[in-house]
Amino acid sequence: MSCYKLCELQCCVRTTEHINNIACSYCYILNCQICIEGNIASGKTTCLEYFSKTSNIEVLTEPVSKWRNVRGHNPLGLMYQDPTRWGITLQTYIQLTMLDQHLSTISAPMRMMERSIYSAKYIFVENLYRSGKMPDVDFAVLSEWFEWITQNIAIPVDLIVYLQSSPQTCHERLKERCREEEKIIPLEYLEAIHQLYEDWLIKKTSFNVPAPVLVISADDDLQKMILQYEENREKILSGTNV
Ligand SMILES: Nc1ncnc2c1ncn2[C@@H]1O[C@H](COP(=O)(O)OP(=O)(O)O)[C@@H](O)[C@H]1O
Ligand SMILES: O=c1ccn([C@H]2C[C@H](O)[C@@H](COP(=O)(O)O)O2)c(=O)[nH]1
């Protein structure tokens, strides 16, 4: 369905632009794609659950169940047990599933998606490589795939919402969540992921940032987080950081 049709159907708008078959400013808003980024257990899924109650928003959480079970195999668990052997296996599959999510047909005027193909590469692959746990050849092959994909396929992202949390908070929440595969994650792992996120989205010194960034501090309790989401609702839903 074209954005014009979507706009007309959802909002009964028939602007001059539509009559002339070009996208009006409303159409652009109606095709907004927002990625929620942040460390492990920073509260991304909880944030998405909150916004899923808003009408006209499609929410896509990370397909973690697929990463834990692909045809009876658990690449997420294997990676945590032996990152050097299984890092490429997990990250190749994550790259595929994230691409699939980015390209899937949008079923609402606005989409909020957990992480992105960009953080899979710039944060998690990079961390495996920098920590010496991904062999050069695996990193080279994954990088070739990533570059081919991003140079040949349009992956629209309008806004990145960065849930900025301290690694200590994430470590506490991770222990509470108690996902079997993640029980062995030490604080140092979360510190490394945090640093990569900060370099990418705050300092902007490491990799290309594909969209404007809205930073929300995520160390607060759930009630305060909801207040922050409400304070930022308009910015988030209009797909801007100003
Ligand atoms: N603001 C918060 N305060 C306390 N606990 C939280 C908060 N947000 C999320 N949690 C809890 O922390 C854990 C991780 O949250 P989750 O949303 O799954 O994080 P992520 O999707 O970023 O990995 C869950 O058990 C969740 O209930
Ligand atoms: O590219 C990626 C993305 C995620 N992971 C890991 C990190 C966590 O253990 C799970 C899910 O992440 P959440 O932050 O809890 O949503 O997947 C990875 O290794 N590589």
| Residue with CA nearest ligand 2 atom 7 | 40
The structural domains of the chain, with segments of one domain joined by +, span 1-30, 31-238
Residue 7 predicted with pLDDT over 60:
no
Q: Residue 2 above 80 pLDDT? A: no
Q: Is the predicted pLDDT of residue 25 greater than 50, yes or no?
A: yes
Q: Is the pLDDT of residue 36 over 70?
A: yes
In the sheet with 32-38, reading across from the earlier edge strand, the strands are: 57-60, 110-114, 32-38, 159-164, 213-217
**Is the pLDDT assigned to residue 70 strictly greater than 50?**
yes
Active site residue 114: yes
Nearest to 215 by CA among 202, 203, 233: 202
What is the C-alpha separation between 200 and 130, in angstroms, rounded? 15
Please give the residue that has the higher pLDDT: either 161 or 12.
161
Stretch 25-47: mean pLDDT, rounded?
84
* pLDDT tens per residue, range 130-188: 999 999 999 999 999 999 999 999 999 999 999 999 999 999 999 999 999 999 999 99
Lining residues, ligand 1, CB within 6 Å:
38, 40-46, 173, 176-177, 220-222, 225
Distances (CA, A) of 55 to 52, 107, 110, 147: 8, 12, 9, 35
Task: Give the pLDDT of residue 15.
Answer: 58
Is the C-beta atom of 41 inside 6 A of ligand 2?
A: yes
The pLDDT, as a whole number, for residue 87 is: 98
What is the C-alpha separation between 134 and 86, in angstroms, rounded? 9
- Whether ligand 2 lies within 6 angstroms of the CB of 173 is answered as no
CA-to-CA distance for 69 and 197, rounded, in angstroms?
Answer: 27
Ligand 2 centroid from CA 94, angstroms: 9
Tens of pLDDT, residues 75-131: 999 999 999 999 999 999 999 999 999 999 888 889 999 999 999 999 999 999 999
CA–CA distance, 32 with 57 (Å, rounded to integer) = 10
Residue with the smallest CA separation from ligand 2 atom 13 is 40
pLDDT at 19 over 70: no
Provide the whole-model pTM.
Answer: 0.90
* pLDDT, position 4: 45
Q: Whose CA is nearest to atom 2 of ligand 2?
A: 120
- Ligand 2 nearest-atom number relative to CA 44: 16
- Whether 197 shows a pLDDT value over 50: the answer reads yes
Q: CATH code for 31-238?
A: 3.40.50.300
The overall average pLDDT reported for the chain is 91
* Antiparallel, parallel or unpaired: β 213-217 and 57-60: unpaired
pLDDT of residue 238: 83
Catalytic entry in 114, 147, 191, 198: 114
The ipTM of this complex is 0.99
